[in-house]
Structure 1
Amino acid sequence: MDKLIYLDNAATTKTAPEVVEAMLPYFTENYGNPSSVYSFASGNKDVITRQREIIADTLGAAANEIYFTAGGSESDNWALKATAEAYAGKGKHIITTKIEHHAILHTCEYLEKQGYDVTYLDVDENGIVRMDELKAAIRPDTILISIMFANNEIGTIQPIREIGELAHERGILFHTDAVQAFCQVPINVDECHIDMLSASAHKLNGPKGIGFLYIRKGVKIRSFVHGGAQERKRRAGTENVPGIVGFGKAVERAAASLKERTTKEVELRDYLIDRIEKEIPYCRLNGDRKKRLPNNVNFSFRFVEGESLLIKLDMKGICASSGSACTSGSLDPSHVLLAIGLPHEIAHGSLRMTLSEETTKEELDYVVGSLKEIVENLRNMSPLYEDFIKKQNR
């Protein structure tokens, strides 16, 4: 197969042509600053409001509860830091999990240095939070629970509704990093009792550099960027109008195709999982088999180094990853795979493949064929695999 096969959609997605088309006039024609008073520029305020409405509708939220940011990492930072500051008088205890994105984990580490106490919950072998452990972790001074909607590496979807119900019963704010889940699974912030939610456009065929933080009305959260009066004085800076328009178009597009698109992705996901499990020995599916994102496939292959696997796949025109794009270049095994109980040597041999609406069965057949060949060749060069086979044949 001559064409590129892109299976790293959890890292980023291709910007859809209709999204680019919607954005273009706001670079060259309607380029005015929305804060200016003359009509040429101030008309862009109405454009921004319309995008808020589109995004809010997909969440069952109000338009004035959507705050635009530069992306998911900023939204996560804002939710944690500003909440910690605003509610410090009530308490300084935060609960999260060991498998969060580093935008959450590193922010929690920062807050610990500022005198906050953070509990990092363990997860089960599939990456799911145990509700009894979450309940036990809650203290009188707990002010925030931040647990991701779906994991960016292994695709596991958390019991968000139950977590939200528990948080609200105890009078605790609940934030969820929904960067991977937004427009991949249905989300209603009221039904799930979500107080804050982070999302990013480039995970759903929108542009990079634009995200949002949903903040429920009544949540006392401080401004994150000080300066002008943009984003209702909570996040200063001239609005990224082309990016916001692109985000709105991407959400509109993704919401309209959600059921049909994800049904196809689940079918192809399960087909890929089934073939790998049947045709490649000594492999392990990471994450829950059913409670996972429609497009996520994550395997660990014993006696194989993940980096070598990625290089060999790249030579065959296949783009995949061994985990989060934000940690590429790190020699350490995935913190997510270690948290679900994998030993270092197996965690090092992980491969994440994330599909899109354009992925075909023919492409996946080529991927499986390539994987079988590459894994076999790499294992044949492994002394550990040679010793294992000798022991098996005794």
Structure 2
Amino acid sequence: MSEPRPVLIQGGMGVGVSGWRLARAVALTGQLGVVSGTALDATLARRLQLGDPGGHVRRALAAFPVPEIADRVLGRYFVPGGSGAGVPYRPIPRLGLRGNRSRDELTVVANYVEVLLAKEGHDGQVGINYLEKIQLATPAAVYGAMLAGVDHVLMGAGIPAEIPSLLDALAAHRPAGISVTVAGAEDTRHSVGLDPERLLGRGLPALRRPRLLAIVSSHVLAAYLARSPRTRPDGFVLESAVAGGHSAPPRGPFARPDLFELVRRGRDLGLAPAVSPSAAPALTAGNPARLHHAGAAAISLSLDGATPRRHDDFRGYDGVFLRTMSACAARREGSGSSGSGVSAVRRSTSTPVAASCSSPTPGPCIRRVSFPCRRATCGSGRRPTSTGRRRSSSRCAIRAG
């Protein structure tokens, strides 16, 4: 018999606010209670240093399947009666690409404790919410939550394309990892992972794979994730504009009447303002020039295909490809040594990306590239250098001529 689907999914965004007490209260009503999985290593360490009022953390630690690890965490951070006002907290190991056993133990234990306390005394459903951007903590954090029997993993603030495979592997206690975005890493792939048996030993309890709910605010992202079993989540949480924050109503920077004044102010403060407008009607030929004269150091436009049809189909609006190319050409002609650029996205290995600012010339670019807008193309055979999003994010190292 399948589990009933909740009508209400509690938000799990607040560190120390969307905690186990709130999630447990929601789960007791038959709905999906969600704890925040962000910075639980620091949260647990500080609770212990405050003396663990009520003994809840210590009660959960006593149930951890590897007592030696729980004892090490307790011995390192617990202060009977609390450390007192004005006493600084003991620092915790920093996240990083290099392995650190103490850090992994603390992360696993902290996520275990939070989920176990949320699930204590009832059979309701409990989920945990992670930010995809905080990639360094994800494998150990997810595994700790799974040890406590978490029912759902929710993930937003990024593209959780590698999480389904991560959950599959960790459910079988197999070594697993995910890619890590590293700026300036060129073509080097970085990753972080966890080997459950190496960390906790053999004889671990059988785990049930939690369902993955991807938090999205765009139908484009949902379609991208659903296209393959390797990236497909078990469901989606759709955030509309009323959620605010990163899900606020989409609008280009030209919707702000004070945009040019903001750019000038940033320039006067010694900053290098960058503007990423969408190809909306407000993106006229004159506006990029005004930004340049106001002091914008870079203007970035996006291409999602090598042809108008491919790009406009991806964006869901007709005419935006030609508007983008026209704006880029006008920017090139009107600014001399412009810092303008185009961010191009290739959606498959067989799809070339438009690589010229004056015409949609296909080039052998990788999945996401940006390059100077004047005369640069990605058809020169130059190797791109990495700037960000996952291993497929790159910046073409070609200079404007």
Alignment TM-score, normalising by the size of structure 1 = 0.23
Higher relative contact order by CA 8 Å / sep ≥ 6: 1 or 2?
1
Say which structure is richer in helix. 1
Name the TM-score, length of structure 2 as normaliser. 0.23
